[in-house]
Structure 1
Amino acid sequence: MRTTFAVLISILVFFSCQDKNKNASLSANKPANIPLKIDSLLIKYEQNGAFMGSVILSQKGKTIYKNTVGYSDVETKKKASTNTRYRIGSVTKTFTATLVFKAIEEHKLGLNQTIESYFPNIKNADKISIAHLLQHRSGVQSYTKDKWFFENRTQYISSEDMLAKISTYQSDFDPNTQAEYSNSNYFLLALILEKIYNSSYDTLLQENICKPLGLNDTYVGKEINIQANESYSYSYDKKWLKFPETHLSSAKGTGSIVSTPKDLNRFFENLLTGKILSEKNLLLMKDIKDRFGMGLFRYKINDRQGFGHRGRIDEFRATSIYFAKENLTFTLVSNGSKMDINELYQEIIKVYLNDALVEISENDLKNFVGVYVSQSDPDDTVVFIQDKNVLVNFIKNEFKAPLVYKGNNRFVLEQMYAESISFTFSADGKQMVFEQSGGKWDYIKE
């Protein structure tokens, strides 16, 4: 059970706008003030110098909300718009994974095929499979951990030089024994795609994904071109400062794509509704092991489950998620932020979902405060404290996680990149059931 709480630690992802377009409205069954609430959030953060970027929500291919705040070029005061093109960082990986699965469907690759014929100099190449690369289970060290990369990231680096550098790394672990995020995995996958098709990654992207889906603003980026409606990225130190751009030669297949929120929504909706890959392969992409799917992450917001990916490159950040039950696709892309983007998009999604909070009195909450001991392992305890009318999970006497009350003595610890944890108490508070990922454990109050 102790390992369950480890998922609370943030996952570091390396590769991982003001347009007042009010003619797009949210779906008719939502309160009319929801667009105004989201607008006010974005405007507030823009005015505080905390955020520049673009947000879009769509259902069944129809845009139901969009807005952009900030500048694509601060120096010239060029306003960003909903058509501004941004670097999307590691969201690129979902495109790469999709291309790999299309190659598998064309019998050009096998999921369990090992990579020694492509990269004989990679450590453990005879044990590393295509599946291991897709799911970050290869043990190949991420080149973004290498000081050499950050010293050279703004310069052109050939694929041959990148491969040579990756080939010098020792394995972080034996293949398939654990998982660790590595940009090297997806760089290698992109090279494999180029070899088996004898074509460039950009051409494969256009022919197999962009043209069929009509993604006219999605492509492999080059040097940022403001005249082509692309955006710079910015850090903040009393004012917005242009961030030196990474040369995307080093980000092939792992963080090299430029796109718009609208294109990203279209891509993720088509992918996750089965319009690009077979049902079998889509299920494989969504199969989560040690936090990672094959080109996808699983997200949980207010007990709702979605799949998507997030990314960061330079000061660009992007997140796209598709929620199947709600038929809702969401994308947020930022080119400058002082705040945690995760908090912003959770806030936006919660406003849209319009979930009413269930109230509980401070007096009733007292029943559930205390230490609960697992009936199967006396060393496994869960601690709850009270902050006014909020129950707080106190983890290892240092991490405080406020819980959301769902009614009927049930509280939920929401986690963005892992399954939510549910705590259901008996009415007298003497017993508690801990649930996560389909598992249930019984606890008794000390």
Structure 2
Amino acid sequence: MLNSYINSFLYKNTEKFNGTILVAHKEQTLYKQSFGKANYDWDIPNTATTKFRIGSITKIFTAVAILMLVEEKKLQLHDTLDQFIPTFPKGNQIMIEHLLSHTAGVGNITAQHNFLIQSYQPRTPDELIQWIITCPFESSPGEKFNYSNSGYIILGHIIEVISGISYEEFLKKKILYPLSMMNTDVDLNHTIQKHKATGYELHPIHDLQNTSFIHMSNSYSAGGLFSTAEDLYIFDQAIKENRLLSNSMTSRMFTAGSYGNGYGWNIAMAGENSKLVFHHGGINGFTSSYLRLIDKEATIIILSNVSTLLTSTLANDIASYIENNY
């Protein structure tokens, strides 16, 4: 049934899907299929092992890492930013919890008028922090929700300050290696990664074209990872089985705060008594969706190497289908 639904959706859509779709229900994979090309110049198809940049789904990894430090009692959710970056404006008012829930009010670095031009250049985490400091605040800390890549860049820096190792090393040590997620890593432009897809943009006349360049160091802990659908499903199962966080901390991560967001996740109701937690991602030439229907025990992972709304539209449609049929 689900196979027919997805295949019919894709057949009827005028835009061809390019990427990998994985849907699981109660630990059984219901659908796993790859479409299109990982590289059109070389006619290389997408497969289950193709690596995609996952954009803002990276924020989930960052949130989990922060909550691990909380459970290790190396950090508290009410700790203030000035403890880690003494020079940060309003640092004594910004709590870790604000950064996790996008309520810190910090100016969004990727919304700055010069970001696209400046993102061609490599940057260290310290340089990113100094750039964020120059961004005007969008609101007072804790006042309202403002989606912010800056907040998650700051959280990545805090992970490094507390652990004494890089963000990349922390993820490998605490999450990626213990779970054998060997096809997931921080995307470093200079490193050759086998089976990594090339990103494309939709063009109204020429169909697909190569995407613009971004130095991934600018995305850092807000959007700098690549992964595969299979690796993300391993991560998903580890969250479900409380292998990364305690049951109580996982529940807290999935609890909507005053402005409707959890820690690293968007929270919504898919049905009357069915919670949906999710995050979509997009970065030059790539889009991604990761949805969990908590009460249905279902997971939807869609990764594409095309900048397109089709990825999130398809993910949301599959979630509705599962909600109504499983």
Instruction: Give yes or no for TM over 0.5.
Output: yes
Structure 1 pair 272–335 and aligned structure 2 pair: CA distance change class (3 A): same
1:245-304 per-residue CA deviation (whole Å, 9 max, x = no partner) reads 321111111101100111112212321443321122222212213132111111443543
Maintained 8 Å contact 1:111/1:131:
yes
Whether 1:150 and 2:116 are equivalent positions in the alignment is: yes
* Aligned 8 A contact 1:224 1:230 in 2: no
265-274 or 139-148: which moved more?
Answer: 265-274
The aligned counterpart of 2:133 is 167
Aligned residues of 2:280 and 2:312 also touching (Cα < 8 A)? no
Who is 1:315 aligned against?
285
Partners of 1:49 and 1:195 lie apart in 2 by 45
Match of 2:207 in 1: 239
Q: Which residue of 2 aligns with 1:29?
A: none
Structure 1 counterpart SS, 2:279? strand
* Number of the residue aligned with 1:41: 9
The 2-side partners of 1:111 and 1:309 are apart by 21
1:291 aligns with 2:257: no
The corresponding residue for 1:123 is 89
SS at match of 2:79: coil
- How far apart are residue 161 of structure 1 and its match? 1.8
> Partners in 2 of 1:334 and 1:77 — Cα distance?
16
1:102 Cα deviation (Å)? Answer: 0.6
Residues 266-345 of structure 1 correspond to what in structure 2 (within 5 A)? 266-289=234-257, 290-303=259-272, 304-345=274-315
Task: Work out the CA distance in 2 between the residues paired with 1:224 and 1:231.
Answer: 15
Change (3 A) 1:152 1:210: same
Whether the 8 Å contact between 1:122 and 1:166 is mirrored in structure 2 is no
- Following the alignment from structure 2 to structure 1, what is the Cα–Cα distance between the partners of residues 86 and 307? 42
The reply to whether residue 72 of structure 1 matches residue 35 of structure 2 is: no
Decide whether aligned partners of structure 1 residues 141 and 54 sit closer, same or farther in structure 2, where only a CA change above 3 A counts: same
Once the two structures are aligned, what percentage of the paired residues are identical? 27
- Kindly indicate whether the alpha-carbon contact (under 8 Å) linking 2:291 and 2:315 is maintained by their aligned counterparts in 1: no
Q: Look up the equivalent residue of 2:154 and give its one-letter code.
A: L
In the alignment of these two chains, the number of paired residues is 322
Q: How does 1:111-260 map to 2 (within 5 A)?
A: 111-223=77-189, 228-237=194-203, 238-260=206-228
* Helix, strand or coil at the partner of 2:114: helix
Q: State the SS of the aligned residue for 2:77.
A: coil
More helix by share: 2
Distance 2:190 2:48 in 1: 18
Cα 1:323–1:273, aligned 2, differ >3 Å: closer, same or farther? farther
Q: Residues 52-98 of structure 1: CA distance to partner in whole angstroms, max 9, x if unpaired?
A: 11110123444221011111111111111111100001100010010
Distance in 1, Cα, partners of 2:147 & 2:196: 28
The structure number with the bigger radius of gyration is 1
Rounded to whole Å, the distance in 1 between the matches of 2:62 and 2:25 is: 24
Q: What is the DSSP-based 3-state SS (H/G/I as helix, E as strand, rest coil) of the residue aligned with 1:154?
A: coil
Q: Which has the higher strand share?
A: 1
Distance in 2 (CA, whole Å) between partners of 1:324 and 1:349 is: 11
- Is 111-120 or 153-162 further displaced after alignment? 153-162
CA distance, structure 1, for counterparts of residue 265 and residue 322 of structure 2: 23
* TM-fit CA distance, 1:227: 6.0
Provide the rounded CA distance (Å) in 2 between the counterparts of 1:122 and 1:322: 35
Q: CA RMSD for the aligned pairs?
A: 2.1
C-alpha separation between the residues in 2 aligned to 1:157 and 1:205?
Answer: 19
User: Which amino acid is 2:216 matched to?
Assistant: L
Greater length-normalized contact order (CA 8 Å, ≥ 6 residues apart): 2
How far apart, CA to CA, are the structure 1 residues paired with 2:73 and 2:50?
37
Q: In the alignment, is the contact (CA less than 8 A) between 1:84 and 1:231 conserved in 2?
A: yes
In structure 2, do the counterparts of structure 1 residues 302 and 53 end up closer, same or farther at CA, with 3 Å as the change threshold?
Answer: farther
CA displacement, residues 22-46 of structure 1 (integer Å, 9 cap, x when unaligned):
xxxxxxxxxxx4313323433554x
Q: Partners in 2 of 1:299 and 1:264 — Cα distance?
A: 21
Partners of 1:256 and 1:230 in 2: CA distance: 14
One-letter amino acid of the counterpart of residue 332, structure 1: I
**What secondary structure does 2:183 align onto?**
coil
Residues 97 and 234 from structure 1, CA distance in 2 versus in 1: closer, same or farther, beyond 3 angstroms?
same
**Structure 1 226/241 Cα, relative in aligned 2: closer, same or farther at 3 Å?**
farther
Distance in 1, Cα, partners of 2:94 & 2:23: 38
- 1:74 and 1:240 in contact (8 A); partners too: no
Structure 2: any 5+ residue segments left out of the alignment? none
The unaligned stretches of length 5 or more in structure 1 are 1-32, 357-446
- The answer to whether the 8 A contact 2:53-2:286 is kept is yes
Q: TM-score, normalised by structure 2?
A: 0.92
CA distance in 2, matches of 1:92, 1:205: 11
Relative to the length of structure 1, the TM-score reads: 0.68
Q: For each residue in 1:301-321, what CA deviation from the matched residue of structure 2 results, as whole angstroms up to 9, or x when unmatched?
A: 354322132211113111111
